[in-house]
Every structure is written in structure tokens, then in C-alpha cells.
Structure 1
Amino acid sequence: MEGRIKLVRNKLDELNLDGIMINNPQNRYYMTGFTGTAGTILITKKTAKIITDFRYTEQAKEQAVDYEIVEHGNSKLETLSEELKDLEINRLGFEAAYETYKQYNKYQDKFGFLELVSTKGLVEELRKIKDASEIKEVKKAVKIADQAFDHILDYIEPGLTEREVSLELEYFMKKQGATDNAFDFIVASGKRGVLPHGVATDKELEAGDMLTLDLGCVYRGYNSDLTRTIIIGAEPTEKQEEVYQIVLKAQLAAIDAIKPGKTGAEVDKIAREIITKAGYGENFGHGLGHGVGLQVHEEPRLAKTGKTKLESGMIVTVEPGIYLPDWGGVRIEDIVEVTIDGCRILTEASKELIRV
């Protein structure tokens, strides 16, 4: 964590700040390794502190060894105010994207002796590039998702409900060590496949349905995200095979194009042009992908508006899709790690059009 603290201090110099207050849970964990659910990080040019309550002081001491732990009483704001005065903070940064307007007003009332300065993505910018330890955790989360997909192929049969499939996925992944779901799983069968975020319902699976499964888990704070589309109890129709192969072609081409220096928009364009030339451009309505790490959706974005240039160490999804009203949909998604000369696919689940 010492290296991350140093990088934040460099940012303080750039922004002419005396310190920054961090409350975003993912940023707090990233900067400290502290897994408690309550605590404010205060980083200045010379100090690094966690202000928390008696429930977490011992835990913070064990997990955040590079930080001084300050226990607050009934009022965390009162303790923060005292610390800021003692440190002679004149310009204090806060996380504009996380703090509410109500909370900002509380800070204004309590910290009237200093200037509050909004910061945007200061820690999130650092989080874009994953170090070796982070990549290891993402790989484990991806492995659990891969195993869950293999497991569910043997479980699925006509007559089961989408909700039953979703519950089985959750149960299996948690047995493998996942601490939580990365998001509400998408289990969308038949015509419901047109819904990119079609969470599970009581609809029964029917023979001949295409079934889109979008699943992921949290492992030691890091997320995975995997989507596959399969066929239930029948051979695919000509239309199902056609749409599937177009999506797969677009996905493989986009993965092949990923390398440092490319923007998210440039990679998105490659997949989008393939789908558009096949006549389904209007049926691919979302971005190609997104960063994955402590949050399942984070920077950088692979989308029409994705201006960020890819760098080695970034981890992103690649997930083109085609969604046809009154028919259904197909989406295929992998997680890839950007390397110095291209990318590495972390997902290992089969991308064949599987019949179960």
C-alpha cells in the first residue's frame, strides 16, 4: 500500500491539495487493504490515517499496517475536524462522485476553517492498471465463474425456471469460495433474450430456447463477468446459428485488436462494424465492454465514447450482442488482460454454440 499512498501524494501536489478524504468503499479497500465497512481515509503529504470506530480499530491495525488508526467517538465529523486542524489542512480534496450533496453540506458546516475541493476519479485513475496481486484475484474470480458455467450445463433441462438456474449458479460459486455475486445474474431464455439485463424470472426453460447466461462473482473483493448463450434441448435453427456466429466473429475480431495505445472507441468500432455489415447494427445497443476489478463495471470503457487509451495491466470485458424483438438475443463475453503487446483471454469457458 505504501506505493499507492505515494501515488496519491503525487496527485495532491498536482492539484495543490494539502490532503484528501476518501470514503468510497472500493477506494478505501484499494488504498488500505482494510475490509471494514466504516472508516474514512485521510492522506496528507506526510501522514496517512484511518478514522474509524471501536468496532474496527483492531481490525484496521491488522490490515492497514501503513496507516495510523484513529478511533472516533460518537461523532466521526468531530474527530475529523480535530485531525484536520492539527494537520493544518487548508485545501482538502473529497470524492465528488461518491459524496452526496447532503454530506457535502455537513462537511461545509463542520470544516469551515478550510476549503473543500472536489476531485474526480483520483483513486479510480490508479485502479485502472492492475498490479500482479490484483490480476491474481481477478483470475481466481474468473476461474470460479468458468467452473460455474461448466456446472450449470449439466444442471439445465427443460422445465426448470430461470430463477432456479440463477440460484444454482449462486450456490455453486459460493461453495467454490466466492463471497458474493458480482451482480444480479442475467438468465434470459427464449424471447426474453432480447433483454440485455433480463434478470431471472419464473419463466420455465423450453426446448428450442436460446438461453443467455450472464454471471460473475466476487472473490477477495475482485469481480468476474462471463456471458454465454446456449441452446436448450434441440439443434439450433439456421437463424440461431447465423446470429450466434456473427456475434462470435465480432467478439474475436475485437479481442484480436486489443493492445496498448488503442482507445475503447477504436476497439468498439471493430466489433460494431462487423455486426452492422451483417445487417444487425441497430440491434447492438450497448457498449462493447468495460473495466473489471474492485467493481464489476469500472474504467476503462470499450464504447463509442471510450476515449481512454488501453495500457498493459488493464482488465476489460469484450461482450458484443445482438437483440431481436419477438425472437431473443445472443451475447458472448470474456474478460481479457491487456498485455505489453496485445491481450490475454482470462476466460476459459467454451464459446461453441452448446446444446444442453
Structure 2
Amino acid sequence: MDPIKRLCAAMDEGIDAALITSGPNRFYFTGMTSSAGTLFITREKAYFLIDFRYIEKARDTVKNCEVVLQDDLMGQLGELILHHQVKTVGIENRYMTISAFEGFSGGLPAEVLRDGRLQSAIDALREVKTPEEIAHLQRAQDLTDEAFRFILPYIKPGVSEQDLILELGVYMERHGSENRDINMIAISGKKTSLPHGRADTKKIESGDFVMFDMGFVIGGYHADMTRTVAVGKVSDEQRKVYATVLEAQRRALEAVRAGVPCAEVDRVARDYIDGAGYRGCFGHNLGHSVGIEVHEDPRLGPASKAVLKAGGCVTIEPGIYLAGRFGVRIEDMVIVTEDGCDDLTHSDKSLIIL
């Protein structure tokens, strides 16, 4: 079913219309990527208001609602509200700023709701992926696996982290990734104790761990994978940490299935890491949902109240980070099923020593 129709079916009966202004949700409902545009969905009809810069593209791309050239957004929205006799308008309260809300609330002839009901309906739709979405995610991950195999021969002493980022970025661009920001991690040595460390001119040395966090974007959908490899040699403790993270991930993957609380999956990995003597060294959530944004809800962490749903796409990425020394993270992206999960990630997880 068309996502706009699915949203209308899922919207609380107290919401007459939906106002969508965020880039991710504009894309989700219309299939069009742009830096502007307003989607207004009533129970009877949907409209996409867009300025002159994107109007030609919108008319070619957007097929599930009427495309309107925007010249006076508030006035045009007001006319649509009156035409459809809209009394209440739901907003994306996770994305909309306070100033934008105040502008819409004061400028539209309807009550603008900020209670989260529309956001919850959108989140529920986006959490469960359609077969088409899963195909995009799988293709993105397949290309990410290929990129990982591509970069391995480049990892050697004397090569800088920035060199690795540049090689990966060029490879991903040439092979069709839609992520122009080249937003990925390639860090080495002591910096691997920083979960979101940034690449710089540091040269790789023998004995370093090198951590990659990367992912293609295909059809608007992200892959997300982390692998940690070693260069030249490893210490006994490096081996132990790597083996602990790998086993924690294996146990967590076995715990994934529809109906299981997200916090429970996190607990399986965290308890194993704590019991191995690394309590306090795994300071982030076990994972998160992935889709048209690389970090979506629900999150898999100790504070999560969510339950996994069949068709959800989540990461399983335990890590151990020893401050000032080194860290290890291993991340796979999986589709939740009724009786387990389908792992979309196929890159080698054994300890690779280059």
C-alpha cells in the first residue's frame, strides 16, 4: 500500500491532517529527496508544496499526491485547511523546531497538535520495513561488504587514517553510494577506544587495531557496519577483548526475534561483557534501528521500553573500549523475524591480522 494511504489508516482519529516538513519523512512518503518542501496530508487528498527550485523534479518524481508550486506557504496551507474542513493538524514533534511550531500554530486556521500522536504513527510505519525497503537495505549492505574487502589491502603501517577514508570515499562514490558526506569512521591505535573517533593524519603502526564504521546508501536506505582488524601483531589482551566482543555479539544475535524487549537483547550482550571483566567499558547502546536514517527508533539499550517487531531493521554492535589503549566494536545489521533474525551483513568477523 502507498505510504500516504498507510499513514491515513494509522493516524489517530483526532488528527484531521498531517503536516510533514522533515527531509527523511518527505522522502519516505513521496520518494523525493530535497532540501525543502511541505507535505500536507488530509483524509481525502495529499499535497506536496515545493518552491521553484524543485518543482520540475517534484512533478517528475512525486506520483502519490498533488504537486503545488509554493509561493505563500501559510496562505496556501490555510486554503487547504479550509477547503478540507480540517480542525486539527498533527506535526512531527521530533523534527520540528519550537519556532517553526509557533509559526504554524499562530498562522494556520486549525489547531496544531504537538502531542506526538502523528510522530508515533510515522515511527510505527517506518520501523517495519516493506520488502522493497529490505531489498534496498540488503543491496546497500552487500556493497558495504564489498567495500570492506576492497580496503583491506590498503591497511598497512605508514598509511594514514585519512588515506583510508579517501580510498573508501572514492570507492563508494564510484560504486553508487548516495551518501555524499562520506560520513564514516576509520581510526587506529589508541583512538579505537573512542567509539566515534575521527580520522586524521595519524599513521597506522604495527600492533594497532583499525576500526571501520561505514555504510553505503542505496535507494535512500543506509547500511551500517563496523569491523575491527589488526595490523602486524596482537597482544594476548587484544585477542581476549576481540573474542569477548565477538561472543557478546553472537549471543545478542541469538536473542533477537519479534516480541523480545530491546532492553533484553542489550542485557544479553552487556552481561557477558561485564562478566568477562570489562564492566564499564561498553558505554553505548547495543544498537539502533536503520532505514532512511542511519539512526532510527527504536534503540536497543538498557533504558528502552520498545519491543522488537518483525520486519524491523536493527544493528547489533557491542564494543569494549579501554581508555587510552584500544577498543573493539563489531556491528552487523539484521532484519527481525518472528523466530530470529536475518543477518544482512556478510563481512568476515574473525580476527583479521594484516
What percentage of aligned pairs have identical amino acids? 39
Secondary structure of 1:124's counterpart equals helix
Q: For the residues of structure 2 that align with 1:222 and 1:95, how far apart are their CA atoms?
A: 20
How many residues are matched? 351
1:18-63 Cα offsets, whole Å, 9 max, x none, are 1110011111111111223321111111111111123333322332
Residue 3 (structure 1) aligned with residue 2 (structure 2): yes
Q: Which residue of 1 aligns with 2:242?
A: 244
Letter in 2 for 1:115: E
Structure 1 distance, partners of 2:307, 2:274, is 24
Give the whole-Å Cα distance in 1 for the aligned partners of 2:235 and 2:153: 22
In structure 1, stretches of 5+ residues that fail to align are: none
After TM superposition, the score normalised by the length of structure 2 is: 0.95
Contact residue 178 and residue 217 of structure 1 kept, 8 A? yes
Partner in structure 2 of residue 336 of structure 1: 334
Q: Which residue of 2 aligns with 1:85?
A: 82
Counterpart residue number, 1:308:
306
Alignment RMSD: 1.5
- Give yes or no for the alignment of 1:117 onto 2:116: no
Q: 1:179 to 1:3 in 2, by over 3 A?
A: closer
**Contact 2:206-2:233 within 8 A present in 1 as well:** no
Structure 1 residue 300: Cα displacement: 1.8
Residues 280-325 of structure 1, C-alpha deviation per residue, up to 9 Å, x if partnerless? 0210000100001000000121110122111111111000000002
Give the deviation of 1:15 after TM superposition: 4.3
- Residue 180 of structure 1 aligns to which amino acid in structure 2? N
CA contact (8 A) 1:161 1:203 kept: yes
> What is the letter of the counterpart of residue 148 of structure 1?
A
- Alpha-carbon distance in structure 1 between the residues aligned to 2:168 and 2:322: 26
What is aligned with 1:34?
32
Q: Residues 131-168 of structure 1, C-alpha deviation per residue, up to 9 Å, x if partnerless?
A: 00000111111111111111110111111111111111
| Partner of residue 57, structure 2 | 59
CA deviation string 1:178-215 (max 9, x = no partner): 01167632222111111000110111100111111111
CA distance in 1, matches of 2:313, 2:170: 26
Letter in structure 1 aligned against 2:222: N
Distance 1:287 1:146 in 2: 23
Given that residues 87 and 110 in structure 2 are in contact (C-alpha distance below 8 angstroms), is that contact kept between their aligned partners in structure 1?
Answer: yes
Partner residue of 1:211?
210
Classify the secondary structure of the residue corresponding to 1:266. helix
Q: Which residue of 2 aligns with 1:270?
A: 268
Q: Which amino acid aligns with 1:21?
A: L
For the 8 Å contact 2:317–2:332, the answer to whether it is kept is yes
Match of 1:137 in 2: 136
**Mapped partners of 1:36, 1:77: distance in 2:** 20
245-254 vs 39-48, greater mean Cα deviation:
39-48
Which secondary structure state, in structure 2, belongs to the residue aligned with residue 278 of structure 1? helix
Q: Secondary structure at the match of 1:348?
A: coil
Q: Are residues 1:103 and 2:106 paired?
A: no
| Aligned mates of 2:179, 2:8 — CA distance in 1 | 33
CA contact (8 A) 1:263 1:310 kept: yes
Equivalent position SS for 1:30: helix
Q: State the 1:98 CA deviation.
A: 1.2
Alignment-mate amino acid for residue 109 of structure 1: G
Which secondary structure state, in structure 1, belongs to the residue aligned with residue 298 of structure 2? strand
Runs of 4+ in 1 over 4 A off after TM superposition: none
